[in-house]
Structure 1
């Protein structure tokens, strides 16, 4: 019993020293370039968001943030890479609905656990999807599109950025909601490849993220029929919603957020959160995002964790109803 008080004092001192060391490390962070891994090819919506986030975060921290594209497997290759990395703040993931919510709902064989193997930092934005077609298609509304699909000689092909991607699952939701069955899925390895074939007339339609398609919509290379959000997008208020187009209750969007490997220290987590929130909330940063159809969204790490859990549960329900599994 006589050694219990000194023992507790020693443990307290050790704890205080560890806290002080962590605080000092956070204060000097970053001492080398930070890698921001994005699981989708250059040129798509996720890549655009990643590069905006990297620029803002680097300026806020006074360091360098380098974007690395690791495309493939619906963003899960990049997510797995980050999950295996040291929790030191120098490797971050630009996560999205595809890698953190839909893929885990589709298979139990991922090399990571979407909830346990990451430290959520914050969401950085969300965007609706948009149904786009080649302007040569006669359909100018969702109703005309459905009539074109249902009366065609053969099924209409639509592209996605990969099986299980948000662009695929939104199309599945559309078919469930409208009863359209004459749509044939053609999976690609990224958004830019889908758009290239859509521009070339090799496929008929695409449920793309708005940032990816918006430049082609604005120069009339693609025709937008409807956005998938409950309300019209601020970047393109002329495009009606699915609900306005007669598809009752339809609502789908994708989020982007920054995550670190599991067990990142609270000090570094908070340092990164504050840097992302402050740098992404300036008028210039917000304008850069909203002009491309991304609504900036910043939530605390705890709030982000709760959103991840709810989103995963939602997409599990959707994939079960669609009877889609990658197992």
Structure 2
């Protein structure tokens, strides 16, 4: 027993000094708690996903995974914190589209690069947005809505949860994809006031996250015209996609993914990916996600990186055409 303890201590010392191979160090991973940083406060959608990941990943790995909420600046504060941590697998990020795709495009002076400074592990899920309008509006379809927008002399207003927010970017992409050129942006400081003003008729439309708007859609306070994902949502299968509604190629979601600092060893990447794939892929875990309007994904690290690259390119082009910047 004494020899075993001595050997483990020597192995740990070698790992800390960087003198052991990555494979040997990874063989003992993990042997202490893991910190999962999320850039939003407790109680919201990102926090919910983070806690699902922490629970199931911790059970699979046999260690505690502790959620660390670092809210602010649409998740970019948390991303910057993780980017400068050691690449040892003990600090992870619950990344979102705002911090990894949109923020870096809108704020080129951020202290991290979303591709250079992170190792993608897996995208765990995404939430579609939904184009909602006040039921008093005569438009019943997306085509009706576009025609109504372009027919009037005065601009038709839409609300967003803030300039550069996914609710703003999804609308800008819609303008560019559908030709609804007379839509006028009204930025708010958060989603709840947009919903209040939309129900009250003070703005005409809103691209809200599906979980946020679904209760208002179900009680007929809002009318849903289309969702923004490439396929219909399991939580609202009666709502057509934008592509089905006549806007080809349109896709805008807010996604959640696990990332680590750059240069994480392939062995640890694979260990984390396999643990997430097996634990988050159970029927119970998937049901917990879909019940909150989050569609599970669990793609490979390579696929996640490719999706991230495509997402960054999409929003860079949207912001270029719309001339949006936060710097």
TM tier, smaller: 0.7 to 0.9
Q: Which runs of 5+ in 2 are unaligned?
A: 1-17
Matching residue of 2:270: 270
RMSD: 2.9
Matching residue of 1:78: 78
Does the aligned pair in 1 maintain the 2:22–2:267 contact within 8 Å?
Answer: no
Q: Which runs of 4+ in 1 moved over 6 A?
A: none
Does the aligned pair in 2 maintain the 1:150–1:180 contact within 8 Å?
Answer: yes
Are residue 243 (structure 1) and residue 243 (structure 2) matched? yes
Does the aligned pair in 1 maintain the 2:243–2:249 contact within 8 Å?
Answer: yes
Alignment deviations for residues 191-240 of structure 1 (CA, whole Å, 9 cap, x no partner): 45544554555543221222333343334343211112333222211112
Matching residue of 1:53: 53
Shift of 1:179: 2.6
Shift of 1:316: 2.0
Matching residue of 1:37: 37
If the length of structure 1 is used for normalisation, what is the TM-score?
0.81
Counterparts of 1:322 and 1:138, CA distance in 2: 28
SS at match of 2:120: strand
Q: 1:225 to 1:320 in 2, by over 3 A?
A: same
If the length of structure 2 is used for normalisation, what is the TM-score?
0.81
Counterparts of 2:173 and 2:255, CA distance in 1: 17
Q: 1:111 to 1:147 in 2, by over 3 A?
A: same
Matching residue of 1:11: none
Alignment deviations for residues 3-34 of structure 1 (CA, whole Å, 9 cap, x no partner): xxxxxxxxxxx96566434422x042xx23x3
Q: 1:282 to 1:106 in 2, by over 3 A?
A: same
Counterparts of 1:199 and 1:41, CA distance in 2: 26
Does the aligned pair in 1 maintain the 2:171–2:207 contact within 8 Å?
Answer: yes
Are residue 290 (structure 1) and residue 270 (structure 2) matched? no
Matching residue of 1:8: none
Matching residue of 2:310: 310
Matching residue of 1:320: 320
Counterparts of 1:44 and 1:157, CA distance in 2: 27
Matching residue of 2:27: 23
Counterparts of 1:325 and 1:148, CA distance in 2: 29
Matching residue of 1:172: 172
Q: 1:120 to 1:244 in 2, by over 3 A?
A: closer
Counterparts of 2:227 and 2:281, CA distance in 1: 25
Shift of 1:139: 3.7
Q: 1:139 to 1:69 in 2, by over 3 A?
A: farther
Alignment deviations for residues 136-168 of structure 1 (CA, whole Å, 9 cap, x no partner): 545433244345545668544323233223221
Shift of 1:259: 0.7
The size of the alignment, in residue pairs, is: 311
Does the aligned pair in 2 maintain the 1:124–1:297 contact within 8 Å?
Answer: yes
Counterparts of 1:18 and 1:59, CA distance in 2: 24
Matching residue of 1:9: none
SS at match of 1:115: coil
